[in-house]
Amino acid sequence: MIQLRRISFRDTGLKYALSPYDEPVAHVDPGETLIIEVEDASSGQIRKKTDRRDRRSIPFGNPVVGPIYVKGAEKGGSISVSIIEITPAIGQGATYFSEFNEDYVAGASILKFLGEKFPREPKICKIKNNQVYFSEELAIPYKPMVGTLGVAPHPEGEAISSGVLPGRHGGNMDLPDIGPESTIFLPIFHEGALLYIGDVHAIQGDGEISGTAVEMPAEVKIKVDLEDEAPTWPMIENKDEVMFVSTTSAGIGLEGAIKTAFLELALWIEKKFGLNRFDALMLCGQVGKVRIGNLWTVAAKIEKRYLDALK
């Protein structure tokens, strides 16, 4: 039996940005399967109900493992990352509020004006038998996903936080679709691609509206490969759907991100299946779906059964 290469945060340390300056933690071959051991979004600060997120000692969130250098990956090309399996590392996750969540949901200035704070006691959620125990009485499905996955971004020399600011490079997209049996296609901006991964969730709803999913340390089995065509924005494929990702940025709100994602999807349908781009956009207008990751990220998707009719 072939022993898969394991890359662990315990050996590499925790990173809080996707950066072209970091030394690679590993060099991998195209087509290689890896096991990546990641810490949770609180950097391991919350394991029991009496623990609190302490941003004085660890100010940043969403630690990642990386960068992973993919041999043969060249600027202007594309890599794919297939998520094979996500396994809880300690059999539990946690969801909680901190200063970040207050700003994410309500706006810190409003809460300060009102003299209010969100409660700080975390909810520790056991994970067993493919269930996440939100409480002793309420079990919800275990639907693991990778919240932060991306490559070192463009432009040259820039580093981007692993906790905010997703973009063309991927990053903190928090899309529930990035889970087992899905493949993510990313454009390459630097030699080796410089892949980062972290911020695993046991389950997360659309919009991650409380600001924190059920965050868990985990082992993620992935396969990394080179691709012939480079998407402008991240693309995700699973057995039933294809989707394109877009994000908010300076001057572009969620409405603009939704439009961009659907336009990218329509252009891809034209290129892949020969359907006129305007007809493709009309098709998306009838059967397209929208997935909201965090409040900065959207995926425009279409079911493959509609595309199969175009072959």
pLDDT value, residue 157: 63
Q: Specify the fold of 5-230.
A: Jelly Rolls (2.60.120)
CA distance 102 to 106: 6
Cβ(95)–Cβ(55) under 8 Å? no
pLDDT value, residue 102: 78
Mean pLDDT of 27-46: 97
Nearest to 87, CA basis, from 31, 35, 139, 126 = 35
Mean pLDDT of 247-257: 90
- Tens-place pLDDT, residues 195-237: 999 999 999 999 999 999 999 999 999 999 999 989 999 999 9
pLDDT value, residue 156: 65
Cis peptide before 144 (omega within 30 of 0): no
Strand order in the sheet with 195-201: 26-28, 64-70, 195-201, 145-151, 170-172
How are beta strands 5-8 and 32-38 bridged, if at all?
parallel
Cβ(70)–Cβ(28) under 8 Å? yes
pLDDT tops 90 at residue 284: yes
Q: For the chain, give every residue range classified as CATH 3.10.28.20.
A: 240-308
What is the token pair recorded at 272? 């892949």
Q: For the chain, give every residue range classified as CATH 2.60.120.580.
A: 5-230
Mean pLDDT of 9-18: 96
Instruction: Given CATH 3.40.50.1370, say whether it is the number of domain 240-308.
Output: no
pLDDT value, residue 1: 60
- Tens-place pLDDT, residues 91-139: 999 999 988 887 888 776 787 788 888 889 999 999 999 999 999 999 9
Q: HSE, CB side, 13 Å, CA atoms: give it for residue 69.
A: 12
- pLDDT tier at 30, thresholds 50, 70, 90: very high
pLDDT value, residue 3: 78
CA distance 201 to 188: 25
pLDDT tops 90 at residue 163: no
